[in-house]
């Protein structure tokens, strides 16, 4: 796939601007769905604007500049514009695919923000952009966990970079480990052999780096012979389901997010949530656990004209409308907390507003990432929540930091962090 291959899709943008908004806003304040246009204001920052930039590059009507790069990269690749574009345009534009190729072109031309050079170097050398390879499993020190690279296990517990390197998330990891132990699950982790799954490299346009990381990850999975991969990382969950198929790669084992796995254990009676709270909780749908985790299905076809003038995909292509994400299971887990009131933010599920944490945008444009988080936190407060809960450690870390900076009357918790707080432990 190349930018040129996306030309026909790009041409079908009607410039309707629906990519900037939720379909039916519940308020003026929270009507936007695109942090990038909120930050940059010029149309070029919107999904449709980026699409035009891509097309203008193909037509030699746009040249590289700081403005061009900022308008493309001050963006988390959250996929909201794509979901909203498809709301009206169905298969016509497939905006997210255009944006991936736009970034790939910019990266291959060596024009991506320079700050990502270091990130890329670190990814290559350390297998992560958040620390050193030998520091990856510090969180597991003192825990008795099987090394799945040495001994087989039924379940490969994939940790994810942010979980592994952000010490504020370690409590969640240790709690998850205790749950799996209590449920009697035969599981293991890859300790320092795990590497970044490649999603961030793909998002930034470094598709070959992404492929190499993906192949390393898949080699680990294959070598483990585990039948089930359970990932604690929302970022990786989206990468496995949405990015790997774009790279022509597939995972032979079952892939589950840890919320799904724990929820199934609860349903099977192998775990019991015994938690009580008087808090008002709201759940933040992380983009990469939500709309971006909807599986991508490779398609090899063409457009044909029918009814004289109607262009359709032949054969039919499965279109990702954002509804195939992972929305209800985390809410089901929250709903089991007795006494807690659960309220929804105005923008939820496939219409969730990105908090600014994803796609490493905060590395290059921290003020953009903070703006997005502030909007999301304000929305939680407006919903009446006292605690915002999310199931993505990347979102949790970012939102908690910004909430603290803004001295907000709102706690930010990871889902398993909250359960750990409320239960101390879950009974088996």
**Residue 327 Cβ, how far from another protein at the closest point, in Å?**
10
**Residue 354 Cβ, how far from another protein at the closest point, in Å?**
16
**Residue 417 Cβ, how far from another protein at the closest point, in Å?**
30
Residue 223 vs residues 52, 148, 168, 219: alpha-carbon distances, Å:
44, 9, 31, 6
**Residue 300 Cβ, how far from another protein at the closest point, in Å?**
15
The pairing of strands 280-284 and 341-343 is parallel
Tell me how far apart the alpha carbons of residues 121 and 127 are, in angstroms, rounded to a whole number. Answer: 9
Near another protein by CB under 8 A: residue from 4, 5, 67, 134? 67
Count of Cβ atoms closer than 10 Å to residue 211 Cβ: 18
**Residue 62 Cβ, how far from another protein at the closest point, in Å?**
4
- Which x/- pattern, by CB under 8 A, does the window 343-372 give for another protein? -------xx---------------------
Among positions 284-343, residues that touch another protein (CB under 8 A) are: 305-314, 316-317, 319, 321-323
Which window, 42-50, 267-275, 371-379, 395-403, contacts another protein (CB under 8 A)? Answer: 42-50
Kindly state whether residue 6 participates in binding another protein, applying the rule CB under 8 A.
no
Q: Which residue has the tokens 């799996």?
A: 180
Which parts of 148-206 fold into alpha helices (H)? 161-165, 170-182, 199-204
Residue 324 vs residues 18, 238, 288, 319, 355: alpha-carbon distances, Å:
21, 11, 12, 10, 20
Cα-based torsion angle of the residue sequence 231, 233, 236, 241 in order, rounded to the nearest 10 degrees:
60
Supply 276's token pair.
Answer: 């009580």
Near another protein by CB under 8 A: residue from 47, 78, 91, 368? 91
Kindly state whether residue 245 participates in binding another protein, applying the rule CB under 8 A.
no
**Cβ distance to another protein smaller for residue 10 or 292:** 10
**Residue 44 Cβ, how far from another protein at the closest point, in Å?**
5
Q: Which residues contact 375 (CB under 8 A, 6 or more apart)?
A: 30, 32, 35, 38, 353
Near another protein by CB under 8 A: residue from 3, 6, 9, 21? 21
Near another protein by CB under 8 A: residue from 2, 4, 27, 405? 27
Kindly state whether residue 114 participates in binding another protein, applying the rule CB under 8 A.
no
**Cβ distance to another protein smaller for residue 321 or 411:** 321
Tell me how far apart the alpha carbons of residues 88 and 183 are, in angstroms, rounded to a whole number. Answer: 45
**Cβ distance to another protein smaller for residue 316 or 339:** 316
How many residues belong to the site for another protein (CB under 8 A)? 64
Kindly state whether residue 375 participates in binding another protein, applying the rule CB under 8 A.
no
DSSP conformation class of 282: E
Near another protein by CB under 8 A: residue from 2, 5, 23, 134? 23
On whether the CB atoms of residues 172 and 208 are closer than 8 A, the answer is: no
Q: Omega before 315 cis (within 30°)? A: yes
Supply 349's token pair.
Answer: 């599920």
On whether the CB atoms of residues 369 and 356 are closer than 8 A, the answer is: yes
**Cβ distance to another protein smaller for residue 28 or 167:** 28
**Cβ distance to another protein smaller for residue 33 or 420:** 33
Kindly state whether residue 5 participates in binding another protein, applying the rule CB under 8 A.
no
Phi, psi of 70 (to 5 degrees): -65, -40
Which window, 41-49, 104-112, 232-240, 245-253, contacts another protein (CB under 8 A)? Answer: 41-49
Which among 78, 95, 169 has a CA at the least distance from the CA of 369?
78
Kindly state whether residue 43 participates in binding another protein, applying the rule CB under 8 A.
yes
Task: Give the 3-state secondary structure of residue 390.
Answer: strand
Q: Which residues contact 105 (CB under 8 A, 6 or more apart)?
A: 2, 3, 54, 57, 205
**Cβ distance to another protein smaller for residue 3 or 201:** 3
**Residue 30 Cβ, how far from another protein at the closest point, in Å?**
9
Kindly state whether residue 68 participates in binding another protein, applying the rule CB under 8 A.
yes
Which parts of this chain interact with another protein (CB under 8 A)?
Answer: 10-18, 20-28, 31, 41-44, 48-49, 52-53, 55-57, 59, 61-63, 65, 67-68, 71, 83, 86-92, 305-314, 316-317, 319, 321-323, 350-351
């Amino acid at each position: 796939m190349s930018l040129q291959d996306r030309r026909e899709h790009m041409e079908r943008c009607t410039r309707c601007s629906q990519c900037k908004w939720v379909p039916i806003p519940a308020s003026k304040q929270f009507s936007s769905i695109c942090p990038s246009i909120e930050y940059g204001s010029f149309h070029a920052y919107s999904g449709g604007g980026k699409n035009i930039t891509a097309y203008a590059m193909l037509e030699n009507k746009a040249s590289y500049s700081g403005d061009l790069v900022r308008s493309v990269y001050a963006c988390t690749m959250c996929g909201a514009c794509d979901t909203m574009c498809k709301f009206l345009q169905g298969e016509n534009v497939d905006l997210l695919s255009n944006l991936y190729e736009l970034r790939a072109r910019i990266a291959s031309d060596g024009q991506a923000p320079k700050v990502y050079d270091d990130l890329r170097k670190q990814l290559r050398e350390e297998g992560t952009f958040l620390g050193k390879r030998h520091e990856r499993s510090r969180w597991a020190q003192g825990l008795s966990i099987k090394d799945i690279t040495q001994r087989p296990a039924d379940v490969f517990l994939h940790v994810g970079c942010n979980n592994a390197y952000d010490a504020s998330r370690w409590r969640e990891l240790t709690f998850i480990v205790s749950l799996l132990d209590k449920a009697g699950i035969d599981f293991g982790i890859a300790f320092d052999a795990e590497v970044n799954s490649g999603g961030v490299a793909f998002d930034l346009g470094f598709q070959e780096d992404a492929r190499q990381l993906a192949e390393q990850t898949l080699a680990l999975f294959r070598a483990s012979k585990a039948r089930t991969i359970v990932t604690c990382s929302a970022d990786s969950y989206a990468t496995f389901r949405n990015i790997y198929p774009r790279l022509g790669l597939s995972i032979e084992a079952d892939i589950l997010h840890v919320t799904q796995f724990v929820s199934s254990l609860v349903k099977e009676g192998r775990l019991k949530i015994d938690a009580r709270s008087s808090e008002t909780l709201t759940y933040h749908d992380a983009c990469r656990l939500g709309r971006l985790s909807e599986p991508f299905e490779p398609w090899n076809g063409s457009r044909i004209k029918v009814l004289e003038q109607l262009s359709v995909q032949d054969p039919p292509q499965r279109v990702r409308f954002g509804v195939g994400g992972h929305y209800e299971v985390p809410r089901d887990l929250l709903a089991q907390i007795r006494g807690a009131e659960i309220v929804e933010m105005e923008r939820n599920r496939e219409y969730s507003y990105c908090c600014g944490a994803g796609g490493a945008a905060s590395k290059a444009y921290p003020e953009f990432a903070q703006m997005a988080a502030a909007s999301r936190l304000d929305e939680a407060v407006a919903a009446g929540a006292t605690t915002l809960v999310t199931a993505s450690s990347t979102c949790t870390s970012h939102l908690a930091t910004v909430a603290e900076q803004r001295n907000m009357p709102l706690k930010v918790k990871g889902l398993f962090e909250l359960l750990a707080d409320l239960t101390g432990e879950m009974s088996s």
